[in-house]
Chain A
Amino acid sequence: MLREKIESILLKAQKPARYIGGEPGAIVKDIYSTDVSFAFCFPDSYDIGMSHLGMKILYSLINSRENYRCERVFAPWPDFEKLMLENDIPLYSLENLQPVKDFDFIGFTLQYELSYTNILNMLKLAQIPILAKDRGDELKNIVCAGGPCACNPEPLADFFDFFILGDGEEVELEFMDLYAEHKKQGSTKTEFLKAVSQIEGIYVPSLYDISYNEDGTIADIAPIDNAPMPVKKRIVNSLDNAFYPDNFVVPFTEIVHDRVSVEVLRGCIRGCRFCQAGFLYRPFREKSVEKIVSQTRTLCENTGYDEVSLVSLSTSDHSQIEPMLSGLLDYTESKQINLSLPSLRVDNFSKELLDKITTVRKSTLTFAPEAGTQRLRDVINKNVTEEELMRTCRTAFEGGYSSVKLYFMIGLPHETDEDIVGIAELAQRVVDLYYTVENRKKGQQVKISISTATFVPKPFTPFQFEPQATREEIMHKQELLLSSIKSKKISCSKHKPDTSILEALLARGDRRVGKAIYEAYKLGCKFDSWSEFFDYEKWERAFELAGIDVAFYANRRREYLEKMPWDHLDYYVDKVFLAKENLNALNAVTTPNCRQKCSGCGVAKCIGGKCFE
C-alpha cells in the first residue's frame, strides 16, 4: 500500500533511487518474525548518510541477531519531502518501506550540530510528536541518539528519550536486549527508561534536573531516582575483537564516499587542543595488520568496489603503517583496486609512504598545518614544524605532485594578525619551494589552495573554556588573509561565519538552547549544513523567540570552575587536565604525543593503567 503510493511519486523527484531501497547488501527481514526493530535514521540526505561508517557497523551488528531488525532511514531532499507531504506518505524505512512510527527504536546519529533541525523535521515527517514528553508512556518509538555530538546532547534533551555515549557497538545490543525483556513483561516507557539508565554508556536526560544561577550559568545537575552520576561512556577494548561488517549496502546511485571503508585505528595520540575527536575517542586503539587486510579483502569481494579508503583520525600514526600498506597493496594491486589514504600527517610522511601511494594514483595532496605561525601551532599543540611541512612538500613535488591543499583555522585562541599573515606567507614559501625542486614535473604550474575554517570551541577539549571570535573579528581576519596573498598561484576561498557561530552555540549549549532549535525548525530551518538552505535570519528570529543570547554561549570565556552543561557526562578525560592544557595553550607550551609520554589526561587510569605497552 505504502509502496504503491511511494512509486506513484518517485519519478517526480530527483535521483529517485535514493527513496526505494532494494540495493544489494541491504538486509530485509520479515516484519512479523522479528522481536525488536530499530530505525537507524541519518539526519541528512541519502548521499551523505550512506557514506557514514558508523551506520554500516551498527546496521550489520543489529541485523546479525536473527530476531532483531535494523532498517535505514534518511532525510528526504526537500523536493521529495514536498511530494511525501502532498501524498500523505509518512517517513519510512528503505528495507520494508515501513513507516518509522511503527518501529520500537528510532535512533539518530549526531555527526554534526547543523543536522539538528533535520532531526526534528524527520520526527514530524514520521508523524511522531517532537517533544519526548508528548509521546506517551507506551513502550514504543524510543527516540535515541549516539555519535560525537552526543557528548553534549543537552540542546537536544527535550526531544530524546536517551543518548548513547561512546562506542555504540559496545552497548547497542545490550539495551535492545533489555527492551525485548521489558516488551515481553509489558513495561511502560518510564519503567524501561529507568532501567536502561543503569546500563553504562546510556544517558537518560529526563532523569536529571538542571538548575541555573542568576547569571545564567548552571548551578547544579541533580540525578533523580538513583540515576548514575556521572554517566560514563562505553569503550570498545580491542578493535580486533570488535564487530566489523563483512558487507556494505552497495547503492544504486552515487554517494559521497562510494567505496569500501576500513577503520584502521580509533582514537588519536596527538592531543591537538582544538580537536574534539582527539579527546572523545580516547584511548588510542589499533587494529592489527592481519585484521585490516582480511577485512579489506572480504569487503572488496562482497561489495565489488574497486576502491578502498582507510579510516581513522590519523592513519600514519598506526605503529605498523609500512607493513600494513605492503599487505594491503599486495592484495589491491593484484585486483586492480585503488587504495586511498586520507588523514596523513606531515611529520611522518616518508618517501617510502609517498611511493606507495603514488603507485596507485596521483591526486592532490592535502595537509593541515592549521595555523600560520609556529607560535600559534604551539598554542594549539599541532606539533608540526614548518621544516617538516617543507620537507614533505619537497618530497611530494619530487614525486610529481604539483598541487597542494593546505587547511587552516582562523579565529583560534590567542591568535594575532601576525598569525593570519603567516598563513599567506607560509603558502608563498611552499610556492617558492616548488621552483627550487630540480626534478619537479616540467610544464606544470604549482597550485596551492588554502582552505580556512572558522574555529569552533568544542566540549571535552582544552578550548572548551574559550570564547569564539566574534563575527566582526572573523570578517577582519578573512579580509586580512585575502589581502596578504600576493601570488596568483595561491587560491583561497572565503565563507560566511554564520554557520560556525551557530555551530558554536549548539556545541556548547545547555537545555535552554533546545527551545531555539525548536523555534528554528518551526520557522522552516532544515539542511542547515547546505549553503543553499541555510538561513541565518530565521535562526536569529528563533533566538529571539526562545530568548537565547548567542554571545552568552559562543563568545563568553568560561571559568575553569564553571559547571559546563556536559559536566555530568564522563568521557574519562579529566576537567582538571583540560584546564591545565588550556593554560599550556596560553603559554604556547606544547604537550608531547601519548606515545612519547603520557600526559595524564585521565583515560589511562580508567582502562587499567596504560594506553600503550
Chain B
Amino acid sequence: MNKIRVQFTKVGRVSYMSHLDLNRFMQRALRRSNLPIKYTEGFNPHAYLTFALPLSLGFESKVETMDFKLTEDISPEIVKDRLNAVLPDGLKVVSAAPPVHSNTDIIASEYTVRIKSKSLNSSELESKFDVFYSQDELIAEKFNKKKKQIFVDIKPVFEIMTKYEINDEFVLKIKAPSGNEKNYNPNLLVDMFIKHAEISDETVKIERNRIICSDNSDFL
C-alpha cells in the first residue's frame, strides 16, 4: 500500500471552511479526482484521511498536509495534478510525496498574525502590545483535553519571533507549541491582547507558515 502525503494551501475563501467540513470536502474531492484511493469497508465507505494538525476556522496556511493510501502505483506528480484539477481556488496541492515524518514528530508551528484596527493605527497597536506583553504573566482560560476549564500562564508558551508594522497593519510572528503533547492556538494570545487593548473594530488575519518537527526541520 502506498501512503502518500500531500501538502496543500488553504487560503482565501476556503479558509472559512471548518476542519470537520474540510474532511468531508476532501472525501468528495478525492472521488472527483478518480484516484485509486484505499477506502474503508462497510456501509459507508470513506477514504482513510489524516490531517497533521487541524487548522482553526479562518486561518490561512500554505503548509497543510493530508495523508491517504493508494491502491495502485501512481506517481506523486500525477496525484498532485489530478487533485488540483478538482480543487477550488485557495485549496492547491503544492507537493505530493511519501511521508518523511510521523505526526508525533511535530512540536511547534509558526504563525503570522496581522492585526488592523480602524481606531488605532499600527504603531499605537504595537505600543499597546508592548505594554500588554511586558506583564510578568499572562493568565488565559483554556479548556484541557477533558473539556475542563483551566487557567494557564501563556507567557512562556508563545515565542514572539518578530513584530513589525507594515502599512496600517501590526504584524506579529509567533511560534506556538503544536502536536499531540501540547497544542496552543495563537488566538489565545491574540484574543487576550485585543481584550487588553480594548478594541472592538479589529480585523485579525492569521496564517500558519511552518509546521516544525523535533529536529527543527519542516514537517514533510
Contacts and interface: CB of A to CB of B under 8 A. Distances in A.
Interface of A: 7-8, 10-11, 15-17, 19-24, 26, 250, 252-254, 300-306, 336, 338, 360-361
Contacts of A361: 43
Contacts of A252: 14, 16-17, 21, 25
Contacts of A254: 21, 24
B39 A22 contact: no
Contact of B17 (A7, A11, A253, A305): A253
A336 B58 contact: no
B16 A10 contact: yes
Interface stretch (B27-35, B71-79, B130-138, B144-152): B27-35
Given A304-B31, A336-B45, A17 B18 contact: yes
Interface of B: 12-14, 16-18, 21, 24-25, 27-32, 34, 39, 43-46, 57-58, 86-90, 203
Nearest to B34: A301
Given A8-B203, A10-B16, A11-B58, A17 B21 contact: yes
A57 to B, nearest CB: 21
Contacts of B90: 22
- Of listed A21, A253, A300, A303, residue having the most chain B CB within 10 A: A253
A24 B87 contact: yes
A219 to B, nearest CB: 55
A303 B46 CA distance: 15
Contacts of B32: 24, 301-304
Nearest to B187: A11
A541 to B, nearest CB: 35
Nearest to B204: A11
Contacts of B58: 10-11, 16
Contacts of B25: 250, 252
A338 B87 contact: no
A16 B12 CA distance: 13
B16 A306 contact: no
A543 B56 CA distance: 47
Nearest to B20: A254
Contacts of B43: 360-361
17 contacts: A11-B16, A17-B16, A17-B17, A17-B21, A19-B16, A20-B16, A22-B90, A24-B86, A24-B87, A24-B88, A253-B21, A303-B32, A304-B28, A304-B29, A305-B31, A306-B27, A306-B45
A306 B31 contact: yes
A22 B14 contact: yes
A24 to B, nearest CB: 4
A9 to B, nearest CB: 9
A301 B33 CA distance: 9
A232 to B, nearest CB: 42
A107 to B, nearest CB: 24
Nearest to A97: B13
Contacts of B57: 11, 16
Given A22-B89, A24-B88, A250 B18 contact: no
Given A8-B203, A11-B57, A336-B39, A22 B27 contact: no
Contacts of A10: 16, 58
B16 A338 contact: no
A303 B57 CA distance: 24
A610 B61 CA distance: 62
A186 B157 CA distance: 66
A21 B17 CA distance: 11
Nearest to A252: B17
B155 to A, nearest CB: 25
A253 B16 CA distance: 9
A254 B17 CA distance: 10
Given A16-B57, A252-B17, A304-B30, A338 B44 contact: yes
A114 to B, nearest CB: 28
A154 B44 CA distance: 47
Contacts of A19: 16
Nearest to B22: A252
A360 B24 CA distance: 20
A8 B204 CA distance: 8
A338 B45 CA distance: 10
A305 B28 contact: yes
A306 B47 CA distance: 11
A304 to B, nearest CB: 3
B58 to A, nearest CB: 4
A355 to B, nearest CB: 16
Given A252-B14, A336-B39, 6 more contacts: A11-B58, A22-B12, A24-B29, A24-B87, A253-B21, A304-B32
B123 to A, nearest CB: 21
Contacts of B16: 10-11, 16-17, 19-20, 252
Nearest to B91: A24
B28 A250 contact: yes
Contacts of A24: 29, 32, 86-88
A151 B17 CA distance: 39
A361 B30 CA distance: 23
A253 B28 contact: no
Contacts of B28: 250, 303-306
Nearest to A361: B43
A305 B30 CA distance: 10
A338 B44 CA distance: 8
A549 B107 CA distance: 69
B14 to A, nearest CB: 6
Q: 8 shortest A-B CB distances, which residue pairs?
A: A22-B13, A304-B28, A304-B31, A304-B32, A252-B17, A16-B16, A11-B58, A8-B203
Contacts of A250: 25, 28
A11 B194 CA distance: 15
A10 B17 CA distance: 11
A26 B32 CA distance: 15
A304 B32 CA distance: 5
Contacts of A23: 88
A304 B90 CA distance: 19
A34 B5 CA distance: 41
Contacts of A16: 16, 57-58
Contacts of A360: 43
Nearest to B56: A11
A305 B44 CA distance: 12
B39 A253 contact: no
A11 B28 CA distance: 25
B70 to A, nearest CB: 17
A302 B155 CA distance: 49
Contacts of A8: 203
- Of listed A11, A254, A300, A303, residue having the most chain B CB within 10 A: A11
Nearest to A4: B203
B84 to A, nearest CB: 12
B90 to A, nearest CB: 7
